[in-house]
Amino acid sequence: MKSRGFIITSLASVVAAGGLGVGGYYWSVAHVQRWTGMDHLGFVNCNHCHLVRVEKLPWAKERPRHPAPAGLAVSPDGRRLYIALDDVNEVAEADTATLQVNRRIKLAGGPYGLLAHPQDGRLFVTLRHADAVVELEPGRLTEVARIPVGKGPVCLAYTRTEAGERLIVANSLSDDASLLSLSPLAEIARPHTGREPFATAMSADGSVAFVVGRIAETKDFVTPAASELTLIRAATGRVLKRVPLESAHLAEGLATVASRGWALTPLVKVRNLIPITQVANGWVMSSGLGITLADGQTVQVPLDEANDYFADPSGIAVDPAGRYAYVVSGGSDAVSVVDLERLSDWLSKACELTRREAVDDLSLSAEYVVARLRTGRNPRAVTLSPDGRRLFVGERLADRVLVVDTATREPVGHVVLGDGGAWDPIRRGESVFTKAAHTFQSQFSCRSCHPDGHVDGLAYDFDGDGIGDNLLDNRSLHGLASTAPFKWIGSNPSVEVQCGPRFARVLMRTDPIPPDDLKDLATYLQSLPPTGWERRRDLALTPTQERGRQLFFATTRPDGTPIPRERQCQTCHRPPLFTARIPTAVGTRGPRDATELFDTPHLLGIGYSAPYLHDGRAKTLEELWTTYQTNDLHGVSSYWSKHQLNDLIEYLKTL
Site for another protein in 502-531 (CB under 8 A): 504-506, 509-512
Can you give the length of the chain in residues?
655
- Tell which positions 189-218 bind another protein, by CB under 8 A: 189-192
- Tell which positions 213-242 bind another protein, by CB under 8 A: 221-222, 224, 228, 230-231, 233, 236-242
For residue 485, whether the previous peptide bond is cis, meaning omega lies within 30 degrees of 0, is yes
Mark 602-631 with x for binding to another protein (rule: CB under 8 A) and - for no binding.
-----------------xx-xx--xx----
Q: What is the CA radius of gyration of the chain?
A: 27
CA within 13 Å, CB half, 589: 13
Instruction: Indicate the residue among 70 and 652 with the shorter CB distance to another protein.
Output: 652
CB of 287 to another protein, least distance (A): 11
* 297 belongs to the binding site for another protein (CB under 8 A): no
DSSP states along 589-648: --TT-S-SEE-----TTGGGS-SBSTT--BSSSHHHHTTS--TT-SS--TT--HHHHHHH
CB of 27 to another protein, least distance (A): 41
Instruction: Indicate the residue among 342 and 619 with the shorter CB distance to another protein.
Output: 619
Applying CB under 8 A, the span of 94-102, 263-271, 338-346, 560-568 interacting with another protein comes to 263-271
- Tell which positions 29-68 bind another protein, by CB under 8 A: none
CB of 441 to another protein, least distance (A): 5
Residue 384 identity: L
CB of 142 to another protein, least distance (A): 30
Which of 1, 51, 353, 539 touches another protein (CB under 8 A)? 353
Handedness of CA 422, 431, 477, 485 (dihedral sign): negative
Mark 127-166 with x for binding to another protein (rule: CB under 8 A) and - for no binding.
-----------------------x----------------
115-126 exposure pattern, b = at least 16 Cβ within 10 A, e = fewer: bbbeeebbbbbb
* 648 belongs to the binding site for another protein (CB under 8 A): no
Which of 131, 196, 305, 473 touches another protein (CB under 8 A)? 305
CB of 272 to another protein, least distance (A): 7
* 306 belongs to the binding site for another protein (CB under 8 A): yes
Instruction: Indicate the residue among 54 and 655 with the shorter CB distance to another protein.
Output: 655
Which of 307, 550, 555, 638 touches another protein (CB under 8 A)? 307
Give the Cα separation of 188 and 415 in Å (integer): 37
* 278 belongs to the binding site for another protein (CB under 8 A): yes
Count of residues of this chain found to bind another protein when the rule CB under 8 A is applied: 84
Name the DSSP letter for residue 131.
Answer: T
CB of 608 to another protein, least distance (A): 11
- Tell which positions 434-493 bind another protein, by CB under 8 A: 440-441, 461, 463-464, 467-468
Instruction: Indicate the residue among 73 and 235 with the shorter CB distance to another protein.
Output: 235
Give the Cα separation of 123 and 12 in Å (integer): 78
How many C-beta neighbours within 10 Å does residue 514 have? 11
Residue 326 parent element (H or E): strand 324-329
Give the Cα separation of 148 and 169 in Å (integer): 11
Let me know the angle formed at the C-alpha of 511 by 508 and 517, rounded to the nearest 5 degrees: 90
Applying CB under 8 A, the span of 114-122, 137-145, 187-195, 315-323 interacting with another protein comes to 187-195
Q: Are strands 379-384 and 369-374 parallel, antiparallel or unpaired?
A: unpaired
Instruction: Indicate the residue among 79 and 238 with the shorter CB distance to another protein.
Output: 238
Which of 255, 289, 650, 655 touches another protein (CB under 8 A)? 650
CB of 277 to another protein, least distance (A): 4
Instruction: Indicate the residue among 190 and 519 with the shorter CB distance to another protein.
Output: 190
For residue 184, whether the previous peptide bond is cis, meaning omega lies within 30 degrees of 0, is yes
Applying CB under 8 A, the span of 77-85, 111-119, 350-358, 390-398 interacting with another protein comes to 350-358
Instruction: Indicate the residue among 33 and 510 with the shorter CB distance to another protein.
Output: 510
CB of 173 to another protein, least distance (A): 11
Q: Which of 169, 211, 202 is nearest to 186 (CA)?
A: 169
Instruction: Indicate the residue among 59 and 625 with the shorter CB distance to another protein.
Output: 625
Instruction: Indicate the residue among 92 and 276 with the shorter CB distance to another protein.
Output: 276
Give the Cα separation of 638 and 633 in Å (integer): 10
CB of 496 to another protein, least distance (A): 16
Q: Which of 163, 118, 124 is nearest to 146 (CA)?
A: 124
Applying CB under 8 A, the span of 33-41, 66-74, 253-261, 364-372 interacting with another protein comes to 364-372
Alpha helix stretches (DSSP H) within 390-506: 425-433, 446-449, 495-498, 501-503
CB of 345 to another protein, least distance (A): 17
Give every CB contact of residue 166 below 8 A, 6+ residues apart in sequence: 158, 159, 160, 179, 180, 181, 182, 188, 209, 234, 235
Instruction: Indicate the residue among 482 and 629 with the shorter CB distance to another protein.
Output: 629
Q: 369 φ, ψ to 5°? A: -85, 115
* 640 belongs to the binding site for another protein (CB under 8 A): no
Which of 188, 370, 416, 597 touches another protein (CB under 8 A)? 188
- Tell which positions 167-186 bind another protein, by CB under 8 A: 174, 176
Which of 145, 204, 273, 597 touches another protein (CB under 8 A)? 273
CA within 13 Å, CB half, 16: 6
Cα 158 to Cα 161, 210, 232, 651: the distances in Å are 10, 11, 13, 38
Instruction: Indicate the residue among 110 and 607 with the shorter CB distance to another protein.
Output: 607
Name the DSSP letter for residue 573.
Answer: S
Residue 193 and residue 230 in contact, taking contact as beta carbons nearer than 8 Å? yes
Which of 282, 331, 429, 453 touches another protein (CB under 8 A)? 282
Residue 99 and residue 117 in contact, taking contact as beta carbons nearer than 8 Å? no
Cα 551 to Cα 234, 462, 580, 645, 654: the distances in Å are 44, 37, 18, 9, 14
Which of 36, 161, 365, 526 touches another protein (CB under 8 A)? 365
Residue 273 and residue 335 in contact, taking contact as beta carbons nearer than 8 Å? no
Give the Cα separation of 368 and 373 in Å (integer): 15
Residue 15 parent element (H or E): helix 2-36
Mark 535-574 with x for binding to another protein (rule: CB under 8 A) and - for no binding.
---------x------------------------------
Determine the longest span between alpha carbons in the chain, in angstroms.
105
Instruction: Indicate the residue among 145 and 280 with the shorter CB distance to another protein.
Output: 280
CB of 236 to another protein, least distance (A): 7
